[in-house]
Amino acid sequence: MTALRDATTRALRRIALDRQRVGRVPGLYAAVQRGGALVWGDGIGRREVTAEAAPGPDDQFLVASNTKTFTAVMVMQLRDEGRLSLDDRVSDHLGEVPHGLTVRQGLAHVSGLQREPVGDVWATLVQPDTDELMAGFAEAEAVGRPHERWHYSNVVYAVLGELVARLDGRSWEESLRARLLDPLELKRTSVGFDGGPQAVGYYVPPFDDVPRVEPFVELRAMAPCGALASTARDLARWSAFVAAPDPSVLSPDTMEEMCQPQVMRDVEDWTGAMGLGFFLARSPGGRTFVGHTGGMPGHVTGVFTHRESGTGGIVLMNSSTPPDPSTFAVEIAEQVVAHDPVEEQPWQPGTSVPDELAGLRGTWFTEGTPFVFSVVQGHLEARHPDLARHKQSSVFEQIGDDLYRTVAGRERGELLRVTRDEAGTPVTLHWATYLCTRAPLSFGEELTGH
C-alpha cells in the first residue's frame, strides 16, 4: 500500500483538529481506508476525559444508525436467495404488519411511516422488546404518502430486522454474525460494547465546557436500526466491502443496485440522495460517496465510501453534539481521492482483434452524433469524443452472432445489433434500437435511406 504524501496527512490532521476544536468534541478518531487498510488515522482529544489517551483505531464507538447498512445488506442477501422480493409487502412475510409498505419502501425511507416506535422512547430511554415493537407498529402513524418524500424511519428498519430474523429462523444478531461479521472478519463489531477498549460518550453543554457522561441505551428490538459498536479498523473493512463486495457474501451487482438513487434527501441542492440502505452524498468535487451516519447518546459517527477509487472516510466522535459526521467523513476521503489518488495501472497492449470485431472499428454516427468504436483487450467499446476521461466507455459483451449486450457505460443493458452486406462488411448498427451509420444522417435521411 502506497503511503500518503506528507502534505496530504498534514491536511487531514488540520481538518480533524478543526472539527474537534470547533465542535468541542472530547475525543475523536478520523481515518481514511483503501482496500480495507487504514492509510491514515489520527486520534485527537481523549477517549475518556479523566485519562490522557486519545482514541485509537481499535477503540469501540457506538456506530448507531450505521447499523442500518448491515441490516439492508442482509435484506438484499435474502432477495438474492429468492426468499423475498423488494416489491413484496412486508406483511407478506410478517402477517401481523397491517401497513402496505413494501421492502423497497422500507429500505429507502419512503414508506411515509413515522420515525420512532410508538411511545416516548427517547424520553424514557426504554426501547420495546419484539412483542412490543410489533404490537406498536400496528399503531404507527402514516405521516406522509408512500414515495411522497424521504422520511427517515427507525421503526421501519427495526421491522426489517425482524423480517430478516423470521426468514432466517434465528435472531437478527445471529444472522448478522453468520452472514456478515464472521465472513468479513469484523471481530470488534458487536451489538453494544464487547468489553474491550472503548470510548466513553459525553454531552458537552452549550454554556460551559465540562462534559457529562451519557447513559448507554439498550435498544432491544430496535437493534437492527442502530445497536452496533465498532472500531475504525473494522469499519475500514466494511467500507472496502461497500466499494468492492466479496461475491461470496454479496453480489457486486447487488451492491451497485443498493447505491442507486431511489429518492432525493436534499430536494433543494440535490447533493444528497437515498439508495437501498445507503445515503448518497455529492462531494464539493462532484464525486459520489455512499455510506451512513449514526448517533446515540455520547457517540456520533459517519462512514462514507467513494466506490470508484475504493477510498473511505471514517469518523468516530464521543460527543452527542459534534460536527456533522457526513460532511466530515466525505471531506477527509475527498482530500485523499483528489490530492493523493491511487496510481493508475500502466496501459497494456492487446494481443489480437477478433475477426467479428475488425469491421466495427472507427466512427459511427447516431442521431448525428459520433461515437468511436474500438477493440480493447479483445472486446468492443464505444465512446463519445467529448466524454470526460474519468467516465466509463460503453462496453459490449457478445451474446450471439452479430448481437451484443451493453454491460457498462452509456446504454447499459441495451442491445447492439450488427447488420452486414453480402460481403460481410458491417453497414449499420442498431444500438438501443437507434440506427448507427458510417456517415452522419438526419432522421429524414435515415428514414428514406438517402
Q: 2 falls in which pLDDT band (50, 70, 90)? A: low
CATH of 6-339, one of 3.10.129.10, 3.40.800.10, 3.30.70.360, 3.40.710.10: 3.40.710.10
Q: Could you report the per-residue pLDDT of 84-120, keeping only the tens digit for each?
A: 999 999 999 999 998 899 999 999 999 999 999 999 9
CATH of 355-448, one of 1.10.150.120, 2.40.128.50, 3.30.70.120, 1.20.1250.20: 2.40.128.50
pLDDT exceeds cutoff 70 at 65: yes
The reported pTM is: 0.94
Contacts of 437 (CB under 8 A, 6+ apart): 364, 365, 366, 428, 429, 446
- What is the average per-residue pLDDT within 41-61? 97
Domain range list for the chain: 6-339, 355-448
Q: Could you report the per-residue pLDDT of 167-226, keeping only the tens digit for each?
A: 999 999 999 999 999 999 999 999 999 999 999 999 999 999 999 999 999 999 999 999
